[in-house]
Amino acid sequence: MDERTPKNGIVFFGTRIRWMSEALTQLGYVASSVQQFIDDLILANEERVQVVHHDKKPLFEEGMHLARRLTNAVLLCETALGNDSPYVVAIEKMK
């Protein structure tokens, strides 16, 4: 089965994160220029899985890191979609 075909109609968040590089490329960006943002989002999702599915109780500092990673991901998406944002992510356009 193709990874892009949802099983039982569900596409899990971790799978969608792995699609981000290709989506950015399709939007005309060099995905590798923001790989750190994508890697941070992968880490944030791993933390989310631990909290939601394994009853982990994150420390305050861990919660702050999770919030920062998610905020950065939102800013990346806003920039890639051309939406106005107070913070712009330096993402390289394809030539």
Domain boundaries, the chain: 13-80
pLDDT tens sequence across 26-35: 999 999 998 9
Model confidence, pTM: 0.73
**Non-local CB neighbours of 27 within 8 Å, separated by 6+ positions:** 80, 81
Integer Cα distance of 6 and 38 in angstroms: 21
Four-residue CA torsion sign, 15, 3, 28, 30: positive
pLDDT tens sequence across 70-93: 888 888 888 888 887 777 778 888
Closest alpha carbon to 14 in 57, 52, 43, 54? 43
